[in-house]
Chains A and B, each alone.
Chain A
């Protein structure tokens, strides 16, 4: 690397266009919204910067506080599911044969490149009352019913008189499933990268010395790969917290997340300062998560772009 003073003209030629774009079309808009978050609404569309904290305090009102907690809860639940399922999947890929590995990786990455909105829509056909999950459940129910009738227990109606489809859509569980569905690959990739780097003789030693697979996982594998887990948690949790069309399409009336409230403030409710404050609460959470990751994982060199 050379000092920029050596070739100032080249330096400016490289740096001005992207910096211009970054500053005017990204940092200025963000700063504007940050300013709105300390502003007061004046009239129908006007705002005035009064350095008030009222918008943030309003987010602590019970109705919004409940939504904030619910968003955190649903994002955390989805992240936990991704982590618990992501580890075995990442393990299976890392320990697959060389021939199979690239294909398994491709299978995990491919959904990334399918529009999240379309994937969310695709879930509706699976979860709705007359959807695939319920069809499978109905088949199971009919089979169980047949078995019970055959062995003479049909009169007891152990599994109910008639088949009742499950209400899988338009509730919080559907939103969590939608978030898992959308962001699962984000979890698997960093986990895989870390498991792949892991020196396998540690695991062999642990197994040789009599530890079981669970013990080996918790005492050896996890402590050596949790950087990957932390990256995965951060990059699943942040977009999950900001989700807004997933609860909109899959959730019920009480599955609102922060994203839905933000969207309403900026569109139909037209209360930009409050929407800006909520949006910046998300930003603060993001910065906090990123700082935490940087702090815990230690600075291992390289910039933020290498993450």
Chain B
């Protein structure tokens, strides 16, 4: 045990540590180890406590799934979760299409003010979220957005805001994939008489498929995870899960919050890991083909 520990810390290896073997210096490992503890311990504790049979959640009592059962029976939590999913799905469809069009536009065409356009498209990614949040809030108030629309329609202002910040991210992902596209394929298709539309559907879209799926999954998690912008655009009847969690955290911290948070974390992490894998697989196939 002690031997394993010292070798883990970089002491007990036979071969000497090379001058650039920073990964094997004990102080380096200490910093990295402590950083990962700092990054992960709170999340592990949060998830563990969603299974803890104690209301105050200070010491571990025993394993239970009661908090999940409670969360499932909490009507407002379920409504918020339903809203979040609905918004995320519609957002995914719209921002994947818009992001792909943006990427194709910037990949294919030279046009006046192109650098300005590129800068403007990147703006939603770089500005502080709160600025965008208040801008959307002010905008919908200014055009007199009605507050009493029937259910799925009532979410559309949140969807509009989400699409505005997520389609530039999709564009980044699609552009990365397009950079490796062999344009001769497109030329060949057109030489052989394919229309623009046919070329797009039969040549470009199949090539883009991994990036399209990755972009769709990323825009899904961006929307599902967003708190700040939704916080400013949501009305009392259009609460999403992160907004609901925020109000729960502010007013009463119970393990139910941990359970709801765990569900959200699991969904977004799984979706993202899938997206990353697809994107990597796509890049590998792209570079070899």
State whether A125 touches B57 (Cβ < 8 A). Answer: yes
Contact A304 B167, beta carbon cutoff 8 Å: no
How far is the CB of A281 from the nearest CB of chain B, in Å? 10
Interface SS majority for chain A: helix
Query: Are the C-beta atoms of B23 and A286 separated by less than 8 Å?
Result: no
Q: Could you tell me if B46 and A122 are in contact, using CB atoms closer than 8 angstroms?
A: yes
State whether B118 touches A249 (Cβ < 8 A): no
The listed residue (A88, A113, A130) touching B269 by CB distance below 8 A is A113
Q: Are B268 and A238 in contact (CB under 8 A)?
A: no
Partner of B137, one of A122, A124, A125, A266: A266
Question: A286 near B120 (CB under 8 angstroms)?
Answer: no
Binds B, one of A11-19, A51-59, A148-156: A11-19
Complexed CA–CA distance, A259 and B232 (Å): 12
Interface residues of B in 133-192 (CB under 8 A from A): 134-139, 142, 160-161, 163-164, 167-168, 171-172, 175
Judge whether A123 and B42 touch: CB under 8 Å: yes
Determine whether B201 belongs to the interface, using a CB cutoff of 8 Å to chain A.
no
Query: Given the complex of chains A and B, what is the CA–CA distance between A207 and B17 in angstroms?
Result: 14
Per-position 1/0 for A226-260, Cβ under 8 A of B:
00000000000011011011001100000000010
Verify B163–A122 contact, CB threshold 8 A.
no
B15 interfacial contact with A, CB 8 Å: no
Given contacts A21-B167, A117-B249, A266-B134, 6 further A-B contacts (CB under 8 A): A89-B31, A113-B269, A126-B42, A204-B19, A259-B128, A262-B130
Q: Are A7 and B196 in contact (CB under 8 A)?
A: yes
Q: When each residue 255-289 of chain B gets 1 if its CB lies under 8 Å from chain A and 0 otherwise, what string results?
A: 00100010011001100100000000000000000
B1-42 with Cβ < 8 A to chain A: 19-23, 28-29, 31-32, 35-36, 38-42
Pick the contact of A283 from B21, B42, B46, B131 — CB < 8 Å? B131
Is B253 an interface position by the 8 A CB rule? yes
A25 and B160 form a contact (CB under 8 A): yes
Residues of B within 8 A of A107 (CB): 36, 39-40
Q: By the criterion CB–CB under 8 Å, are B39 and A305 in contact?
A: no
- What's the Cα separation between A276 and B106 when bound, in Å? 32
Min CB gap B277→A, angstroms? 11
B175 to chain A: closest CB distance in Å?
A: 6
Determine the residue in chain A with the shortest Cβ distance to B33. A92
Q: Which of B63-71, B74-82, B107-115, B208-216 has 4 or more CB atoms under 8 Å from chain A? A: B107-115
A29 in the interface (beta carbon within 8 A): yes
Q: Is the CB of B227 within 8 A of A245?
A: yes
A257 nearest CB neighbor, chain B only:
B130
Please indicate the chain B residues that have their CB under 8 angstroms from the CB of A239 in the complex.
Answer: 128-129
Which residues on the B side are within 8 Å of A170 (C-beta)?
none
Interface residues of chain A, those whose CB is within 8 Å of chain B, are: 1-4, 7, 9-11, 13-15, 17-19, 21-22, 25-30, 32-33, 36, 85, 88-89, 91-92, 95-97, 100, 104, 107-108, 110-111, 113-119, 121-126, 130, 132, 181, 184, 200, 203-204, 207, 238-239, 241-242, 244-245, 248-249, 259, 262-263, 266, 272, 275-276, 279-280, 282-283, 286, 290, 303-305, 307
Q: Which of A14, A22, A29, A111 contacts B108 (CB 8 A)?
A: A14
Answer yes or no: B239 CB below 8 A from chain A CBs. no
Given A1-B110, A123-B42, A305-B175, does the pair A33, B134 have CB atoms closer than 8 Å?
Answer: yes
- Residues of chain B at interface, number, CB under 8 A: 87
How far apart are the CA atoms of A249 and B117 in the complex, in Å? 38
Q: Which residues of B contact A262 (CB under 8 A)?
A: 130, 134
| Complexed CA–CA distance, A239 and B127 (Å) | 8
Q: A25-B163, A89-B31, A242-B128 are in contact. Are A249 and B250 (CB under 8 A)?
A: yes
Hey, what's the 0/1 contact readout for B88-123 against A, CB within 8 Å counting as 1?
A: 000000000111011011111111000101111111
* Cross-chain contact A122 with B42 (CB below 8 angstroms): yes
| Contact assessment for B23 and A117 in the assembled complex, using a CB-CB cutoff below 8 Å | no
Cα–Cα, bound, A290→B126 (Å): 9
Compute how far the CA of A239 lies from the CA of B242 in the bound complex, rounded to whole angstroms: 18
In the complex the two chains form, is B31's CB within 8 Å of A1's CB?
A: no
A25 touches B227 (CB 8 A): no
B128 and A88 form a contact (CB under 8 A):
no
Contact of B130 among A13, A95, A282 (CB under 8 A): A282
A13 cross-chain contacts in B, Cβ below 8 A: 101
- Give chain B residues whose Cβ lies under 8 Å from the Cβ of A125: 42, 45-46, 49, 57
CB distance from B96 to the nearest CB of A (A): 12
Whether B31 lies near A88 (C-beta < 8 A) is yes
Contact B38–A238 (Cβ < 8 Å):
no
A21/B111 in contact, CB under 8 A: no
Q: Taking the nearest CB of chain B, how far is it from the CB of A21, in angstroms?
A: 6
A36 cross-chain contacts in B, Cβ below 8 A: 138
Instruction: Verify A14–B104 contact, CB threshold 8 A.
Output: yes
Question: What residue of chain B has the Cβ atom nearest to residue A5's Cβ?
Answer: B111
B224 CB, min distance to chain A CBs, angstroms:
9
Q: List chain B residues, Cβ under 8 A from A88.
A: 28, 31-32
Report whether B249 and A95 are in contact in the complex, using a CB–CB cutoff of 8 Å. Answer: no
On whether the beta carbons of A22 and B250 are closer than 8 Å, the reply is: no
Pairs of residues from A and B, 3 with the lowest C-beta to C-beta distance, nearest first: A242-B128, A29-B139, A122-B42
Query: Which residue, A107, A117, A132, A280, has most C-beta atoms of chain B within 10 A?
Result: A117
Taking the nearest CB of chain A, how far is it from the CB of B67, in angstroms? Answer: 14
Give Cα A294 to B268, complex, Å.
33
